[in-house]
Structures are given as C-alpha cells and as structure tokens.
Chains A and B, each alone.
Chain A
Amino acid sequence: MTATAESPAAELGRARTRKEDARLVTGQTTWTDNLVLPGMLHMAFVRSPYAHARITGVDLSAAKQMPGVVAAFSADDFGEQGSLPCGWPVTPDIVIPHHPPMATGEVRYVGEAVAVVVARDRYTAADAVGSVDVSYEPLGPVLDMKTALDEGTPKVHETGNLSYDFVFPTSGDIDAAFSGADVVVEREYRQQRLIPCAMEPRAVVASWTGDDVTLWSATQIPHVLRFAIAAFFGIPEQSIRVIAPDVGGGFGSKLQVTAEEVLAVLVSRMVGKPVKWNESRSEGNMTVHHGRDQWQRIAIAADRDGRIRGLKVDLLADMGAYLMLVTPGVPILGAFMYNSIYKMDAYAFRCKGIFTTKMPTDAYRGAGRPEATFAIERIMDELAVELGMEPLELRERNWIKHEEFPYATISGLTYDSGNYEAATARAKELFGYDALRAEQAERNARNDTVRLGIGISTFTEMCGLAPSRVVGSLGYAVGGWEHASIRMLPTGKVEVVTGSSAHGQGHETAWSQIVADQLGVPFEDIKVLHGDTQVSPKGLDTYGSRSLVVGGMALVGACDKVIEKGKRVAAHMMEASENDVEFVAGRFQVRGDPEQGRSIQEVSLATFAAHNLPDGMEPSLDSEATYDPHNFSFPHGTHLCATEVDTETGMVTIRSYVAVDDIGKVVNPLIVEGQVHGGIAQGIGQALYEEAVYDEAGNLLTTTLADYLLPSAADLPSYVTDRTESPADNRLGVKGVGEAGTIASTPAVVNSIVDALRPLGIRDITMPCTPERVWRAIDTARASAASGNGGASSNGGAA
C-alpha cells in the first residue's frame, strides 16, 4: 500500500513539472518525422477510392518515369506478403481473414493501400501518386452491421460477414432473474464510430544495414511490433531493432502493427535505401484504425425497490474489413464491465463481430470499457425513471458497499477495493447536487427554453492490463508483464530502463519520482530510457492504463534488488554484518548506529572500482525485474455533469463538471490532473462532437478536422476535480488513470442531456448529441405531444 517502509515518500505525491516537456512542446526532439538519414527516400501510398472492389490492374509505368521517382510497387512486387497479425482470437471458430499489408485482388475499405511510390522527396512522391493508374471493378459495399448478415448482402470476405459470435458464460439464472422481476427496461444504444486523433500523425522510417533493419515508428508498442514483424514477416527477431522515439500521443491508435510499418521495412529492403513515410491528417482519418462502433442491446431487470436482478447485453460490433491487432477483443473487454459497480443475481453477454467495408476498428482510449460504462450508466437512469426513484439512490442501493471488498463480481472479476459512497458523497458536495436539482425543478416548472440537466456516472473500470494468466485464458496472444532495469552509474547517477514506453504520459518524470524515493537519490540524477528495443530490450509497452500499475511495480522490484546488492557491498565496506545494515533514505547504515553509513553513491562507486567487494560478488549493482500483476486494477469514481440545453437551437452547453476519482495513491498530481482532464475531454468528444461518417458508397466524409470535430480548450468547462483514496493491492498503492476520464465522462454528459429533456418526453439522443439531433428530438417530441401521443420517445434525427 505504501512505498517500502524504509524509504520516506519524499517524491511520491509531488506535483513536479514534467522533465520531458520542454523538448516535447518545442518540437526540438526526435519525432520520427524529424529524422533524416543519408540517402533517405520518401514513400507515398496509392489508396483505394472504393469501399469494395476487385483490382483488375495496376499500371505503375507513368509514375516510374517521373523525374525523382525511384521505384513504385504494387502487391505483385511483394510476392507472398504475410498477414498483419490479429493477436486476440476471441472464439475458437473466429474468422480471421488474410490481411496483406498491400491489397491483393480486392480492396475492402476506402484508403486501403494498393501501391506505393518511392521518390527522392516527399513532394515528388505525392505528385507521383496521381500518375499510378489502378483499375477497379466495383463490388457492393457493406456498411450496415444490422443487415450485414442478411442473405443477399455482399460478402466482405468469402466466408461471409460474421467474424465471431462470442457468448460469455452466463452467471446466475438469467431467465429466472428476468421472469421474476417487477420491472424490465430494455434499450438499444449506439456507440458511434470514432477516429483517434493523436497530435502526432503516424510516421515511419526504415533502414537496413546488411541483414539488420532498424524501424523508427511513432508507435505505442516497439516491443510488440518487433515481435510481430519477426513472427509474421519472416525477418529474424535478432535482426530487428524498433525505435519509438518521442511519440506524440496514441490513445490506442498506435497500439497496432500497421501496413505502413511493414511496407516500410519491405520497401526499404527492395530499394536498398532508408525510406520514410509520414501520414497527413486526412490519410490518417481514413486509415488509422477507428474506435467503438457498436450497437448495444441492453436489458435490465429489477425489483420495485430498485434491486437489480439481472442484466442482458447483446452487441453487434463492427470489426471493419479486417481483424487487426486486438480488433475482436475490444468489445469483449467490455463483457466484464457491464455489471460495473453493481451487484446482481444474473448476467448474460453476447457479442457478434461483423465485417463491413470500412476501416478496421481497434483499441481506442478505454477499449470496451467506455461502451460498457455508457450502456449501464444510461440504463440505470432509465430504470430510475421507470421506478420513480432518484438515480443516485438507485445506484447506491445496488453498488458494492465499501466494507464488502474484495468483491467477486457477477462477471467473474475480483475487485480489490473501492469506496463508492465516499467518492459519490464528495462529488455531490462539490457539485452542489441538491441546489442544482432544485434549480432544475424550478426551471422545468416555468418551461424555461433553456433546460438544465444533471448527468451521473458512477463508474469503475478494469485496467493495468494485465495478469498474463488471465489474458492468456481469454485468448490474448501475449502476456501482461512489464520489465524494468536499474543501472547504477559510477558517479552515483541512475539510469532507469523501462519496457513501458511513453507517448506523452510523462513516464520520465513519474518513473524518476518513484526511483528517487526507492533509492534515495535526487530526482535530477535519474535518467529514464525507453522506446528502443536495443536500449530497453524487454517490455510489453504502453496501453490499457498499465504503465504505472505494472511497469511501476517492475521498477520497485528492480530497486529492491539494487538495494539488496548494495547492502552486501556496504556491509563489507563498513565491516559490518549484512544483517545489521539497513537502507534509509539513500544511505546504507548500521542499525542502531546511524552515524556509520555509506551513501548509495559511495557504494555505487566502490562497486564500480571493485577493489574490495565481498568474495564471489559480481562487481555490479545493476538489477532488473519483470513484474506480472496478479489482478487488474480497478479505479473508480463519480462524475457529475450539468448541462444547459437550448431547446430553440438544440445547443448543449456544459455548465459544470465534477470528477471525483479514486485511483489509489498518486505519484504526481499534475500528471494525474492531465490524464483526468484529457480523458474527460475525450469522453465529451464522443458525447457531443465526434463521429466518423461514411456515405452510402462507403466514402469517409469526415476526412478533415473541419468535418470530424474535436473539442478544444475553448469548448470545455473548467472541471472541478478531486480524489478519494481506497487502497490498491500493490506496493505503491496505485491504480491506473489513463482511461478513467474517458470511460466516465461520456455517459455523464449524455445522461445530463436526456435528464434536461425528459420533461419534453425525450428518453434518448444518439451520440454525438449534435445541436441538430437534439433539436430534431425536441421537434419530434413536441409534434407527437401536440398530436396527443404523450411520452413519445425519440432517438433524434439521424443527421
């Protein structure tokens, strides 16, 4: 729960500004696109303008003749390409289609690469793309998950449009729960398709020296990428070096093995020169894997007093055209989360993975848990209405009480800790919940044209991916451990090598704080190294809010070993027994005689000199540790959102937003605030602004940020944040925080909008809740009220 007894927590909890920020925000660093290698050539991709078509010919001759163009290739030139990997077959009979990096035979989404040109500069490469002549025979697009399995719908793959049908082992007697319940509420929710928009677009450089290749990529997963290229593309693992230099955000979109990465490696070998590719935002919107895209059918059964009896979830999840790294697993992660913080008698979950002719979906901040949290928190509000109960009270009646932890949930997880009462009480207080409810009642009573709504999200999530054994049993291809090593330099400075490579999170600062505490060395004396498989050879990278809870614990383990070795050396130096030496705040000292001691720096130098070490001891304090967690991490919290809805225009304005998060101990409050703020913003993005839209031919319409709207600081309220702390089951006492805000905020916002409009007879608005959709919902509700059909429901117009 706390740092080791002998190390005072001087750094833990300190709001240090981030040591990496100066170089990151000024751009004076090695972003992949800043790299220039001698002789480097530039790649540009020719991409399919069709959602689905047979490729009948690719004529590269005109492009090849352009001055400055060095080469051009289509699928034929690559021979047997191998298949981009899917690492999460969720059922034994899942269909995983062959997924060549360069389309062969057929294209299955707009933007799929059909050819690549290589030129001396990127301008020429871009020009040459227009000279490649590809002929297509159009095939029928498949754009609607709901009709994708119907007879007569074109097939995305020969095997049809079903990838898998996953049925979660039902817990409890679901039929009895539903037939015996007083109330059953059933709804269908739409998780729209989202486009992850990392600040830094994807970028790749590949360079061969002899038989060895170095791949620089703006990736979240240098280690997994190296393994995948070795395992699936026939290049010996020891010949591959992957470097993720400074990476500007990912949100899951760079948790991927992409066609462009693999093709860079192959093309560089073919042309015998380093090659670079850097995507444009429009190219990225089309071809960075997308997120969410599900239809969620959810039914909840409860007694009159509010006690939940059972929950049934039935999903359709859009895989897009292919299964990428964890595509099929994303909705399945949600299977564990629909029950959320609530107790119930029975639970059933089923999900069908559907192929469509769209960009594949995959992990996007929260991956599965935002979808689950949205659906359960939305339907809890609906159930409260059905029961005539205060929505917070309904939640409290059902949630796990703080004294009931550890708690084995209906979906088979064991939550280690939590205190939903404390977080909710604090959130209510900061929000001024009762006063806002009173204001809402008053405004409703006078038919105010601007309605006030209050949205609740009492969420939890599973993160810190993950215990290797558990993910193994779910079919996940790799484990969930993390690696760290500590190198004690002769001058007493410290190099920390972590397998968890940051892409904006601030690991260099947080890791320095942890190690400073553990080893009693100054924060400034610590250098954190990561993101290069030659520097940090072992690791499973950064995603799933895992870095601190898994990677941080690996650090602690490695520090322990340094201290153990240091004790031996120090004891020898002081001619004391090793058992009498204790380590306190950076000093090895003799118990009971603290004057007698050696600093860790002195011990480090003495070990380096190696003149006088204990017999048989290696002259090194360096240590490494690999940590495999025994459980997930379960952060939770209560988020409350107040919105004002202008019923004349449909405009939604967030008036106040309170987030009380329980993430255990905080290493750096500034970094945590950053994660919470950014996370909430991203969740608000889904609720109000973002949606990937394809037209009826399968063209992506939202290719620019003028059409794919992201909120900026100017659109967001000033959040009120606070934290409660229940103990986490690891030595640092920490839980994950990278995705919590995103998971929590989307339902808080939509619940508040629906709460504002419920008096008008509205019970849902489809996300994103654009002004037009809100206005149409109001318009429809008014029209049906006027025609006497009170209590109309509306899903808003499908604009």
Chain B
Amino acid sequence: MIPAKFDYVKPGSLDEAVRALADGGEDAKIIAGGQSLLPLLRLRLSYPDLLVDVGGIDELRGVIDHGDSLVIGARTTHYQVVHDPLIGEHCGLLAQAAGTVADPAVRHRGTLGGSLAHGDPAGDLPAVAVALGATLIARGPGGEREIAAGDFFVDYLTTALEPSEILTGVRVPKLGGDWGYRYEKFHRTAQAWAIVGVAALARRSNGHVAEARVGLTNMGSVPVRASAVEAAAAGAEATRDALNAAAASAADGTEPPADLHGAPDYRRHLARVLTGRALAAAAGV
C-alpha cells in the first residue's frame, strides 16, 4: 500500500495555504488528519501532485463562542470535539456523534473539517451537520463565503467547495436547553463505518415534540434530511408509538447503497427502526 509520488508543503498561515493550494491548481489537495485521504492515496485511488498540510495553521483550531452560535475550527480533531465543553453544552449531538467515529487513534488524528470536506455519506458528521443546520465557512483566493450544510454536500465524495477553497470552520447554531438529541449509529464492529446512522434532534414541550430534525447517514450519495419524518414528528405525542409512527417514512425517497454490510432494503428497514429509536431518545422517552 504505497501511494504514488506527491509533493508536500506545510504552510504556517491560512493565507499561505490558500496561495499554495491555488498555485497547485487542480492536482493540489488539502491534507488534514489524513484519515480518509491517506487510505485513498495508498489504495492508489487518488493521485494528487501536491498535498497542502493544514496542520500548522493555528487559526483553524479550537472553538469560538459567537453568542448564538459556535464556530468550530476545521482542524479541530474528533477527540477535541468530543471533549470540548462549549460543544458539549451547546451542540452535544456533534460531540456524541464524533465519539462514535472509528477508534481512538483515528479520533486523535481525524478532523471535523476533513470529515465534512471529504463528503462521504457514510461518515457520521455530515448528517449531523445537516440536522444541526450548520454553516460551513470556506476561504479561497476570492475571500470567504458561508455555505449551508444542506447545500454543501453535492454528491458522493463531492462538495460545494472549489478546488482552491479551504474549509476554515463550521458555524453551529446553539441548541436551547429544551432540545434533546441522539446519534443512533448502527455498525457491526466498534471501529466500523455506519451501515445506517440517524442524527435526531427534538424539542419537547408539554409532552409533545414541538419540533424535530433528522439527518440520515449512509442512506444515499449525500447525507439525507428526513423531512417527512420531521413533519410527522412535529406536534406528535412524545411516546414511542407516536415517534415510531413518525419514523415510518424515514426511508421514503432514499437511495441507499448496496455493499457487503447491507442491501438497500435492509438499510431502509434500519433507517425506520433507528429513526424511531433516535427520536424517542432525543425526546427523552
């Protein structure tokens, strides 16, 4: 498992990195934790000429409190996401999901930005970003722009980022204390990818679910927002039966993949079962 030849630079600032990436053109790629990119290089499924390592850029790390939202640096590792007190307090769903990613070694290297920029629908964090209504902040030669998570994921391993753009951070709206959440990941071994994952958020009020948001992992070529479920759950009684009923439409319109871990019909079935469970947990029932 030996990658093809590539050049490597490790700029010390964001500006330098943007320049390096632009200079490298189509064949340059960012490397963050390397936990998705290196396997592709080693399997010789990807042949970049230049890797721009963003590991030396301090501005891309850490969490900043902006009042009603948090901005999490793209280079923040899964491990840091799991343990960050601000994230724990204001968007615990993200921390919970990041805690299910792979194993400790991968969580110490892999980054939030890398997970999202990679655009793998089997990754746990894209569906979470969609459910949380996060916004992705990108910097390119032309300056900075913000992209809603729902618009960011374009296709399998394809995002709205331009080749010359760097993802710098993720803006996540803070959740009020009346929101509950649950990331329900179904996988065969602790280290394995999700066969199906469900990111659910529920705001409870008077024994009912006032509002719900549901994102699905690995149910299509991009993370899926289960809007039919959200609509059915809104106003539903906070009971298992009611939420299971709402979850019945979880697989509607999805085109889940077929692979060694599950056929599409099995994934659709799982999506329904797990969505019911995730909603119930999020609603505290």
A714 lies within 8 A of chain B by Cβ: yes
Given the interface pairs A126-B2, A799-B263, the reply to whether A689 lies near B189 with Cβ below 8 Å is: yes
Complex: A573 Cα to B38 Cα, angstroms: 69
> In the assembled complex, which residues on chain B have CB atoms less than 8 Å from the CB atom of A126?
2
- Distance between Cα atoms of A283 and B5 in the complex (Å): 20
Decide: A710 and B189 in contact? CB cutoff 8 A: yes
B86 at the interface (CB under 8 A from A): no
* A775/B269 in contact, CB under 8 A: yes
Tell me whether B231 is interfacial, beta carbon within 8 Å: no
- A763 sits at the interface (CB 8 A): no
Closest to B186 in A: A649
Query: Cβ of A689 and Cβ of B188 under 8 Å apart?
Result: yes
Q: Are B260 and A799 in contact (CB under 8 A)?
A: yes
Tally of contacts, chain A with chain B, CB under 8 A: 62
Determine which of A283, A649, A712 lies in contact with B190 in the assembled complex, contact meaning CB atoms within 8 Å. A712
How many angstroms from the CA of A478 to the CA of B15 in the assembled complex? 69
Tell me the interface secondary structure of chain B in the complex.
loop
Query: Does B285 interact with chain A (Cβ within 8 Å)?
Result: no
A interface residues, how many (CB within 8 angstroms):
32
Taking a contact as CB atoms closer than 8 A, the residue among B5, B43, B103, B263 that contacts A123 in the complex is: B5
Known contacts A282-B43, A648-B273, A706-B193; is-contact A772 B2 (Cβ 8 Å): no
Contact A772 B266 (CB under 8 A): yes
B192 touches A706 (CB 8 A): yes
Cβ contact within 8 Å between B273 and A709: no
Do A122 and B2 touch (CB < 8 A)? Answer: yes
Give A532 Cβ to nearest chain B Cβ, in Å: 30
A707: CB under 8 A from chain B?
A: yes
Chain B residues contacting A770 (CB-CB under 8 Å) are 188, 261
Of B192, B193, B263, B266, which is in contact with the most chain A CB atoms at under 10 Å from its CB? B266
B5: contacting residue among A127, A701, A715, A776, CB under 8 A: A127
Instruction: For A714, list chain B residues within 8 Å (CB).
Output: 103, 189-191
Contacting pair A709 B188 (CB below 8 A):
yes
A651 interface residue (CB < 8 Å to B): yes
Interface residues on B, range: 20 to 34
Chain B's closest residue to A126 (CB) is B2
Task: Scan B206-237; emit 1 where CB is below 8 A from any A CB, else 0.
Answer: 00000000000000000000000000000000
Q: What's the nearest-Cβ distance from chain A to residue B145, in Å?
A: 34
**In the docked arrangement, what's the CA distance between A648 and B269, Å?**
9
Question: In the complex the two chains form, is A771's CB within 8 Å of B1's CB?
Answer: no
Please tell me if the beta carbons of A772 and B263 are within 8 angstroms of each other in the complex. Answer: yes
Contacts of A706 in B (CB 8 A): 192-193
Is B253 located at the chain interface by the 8 A CB criterion?
no
- Nearest residue (CB) in B for A776 is B266
List the A side residues contacting B262 at CB < 8 Å: 771-772, 799
Which residues of the other chain, A, contact B260 by a CB distance below 8 angstroms? 693, 701-702, 707, 799
Contact B1 A282 (CB under 8 A): yes
Contacts A772-B266, A775-B266 hold; do A280 and B191 have CB atoms under 8 A apart?
no
B189 touches A711 (CB 8 A): yes
Instruction: Determine how close the nearest CB of chain B comes to the CB of A23; give it in whole angstroms.
Output: 22
| Contact residues of A between 747 and 782, Cβ < 8 Å to B | 770-772, 775-776
Confirm or deny: B4 has a beta carbon within 8 angstroms of a beta carbon on chain A: yes
Q: List the A side residues contacting B4 at CB < 8 Å.
A: 127
Q: Which residues of B contact A651 (CB under 8 A)?
A: 186
- Complexed CA–CA distance, A688 and B195 (Å): 16
Please report the C-alpha to C-alpha distance between residue A799 and residue B1 in the assembled complex, in whole angstroms: 28
The answer on a CB contact under 8 Å between A771 and B188 is yes
Closest 3 CB pairs of A and B: A714-B190, A126-B2, A280-B1
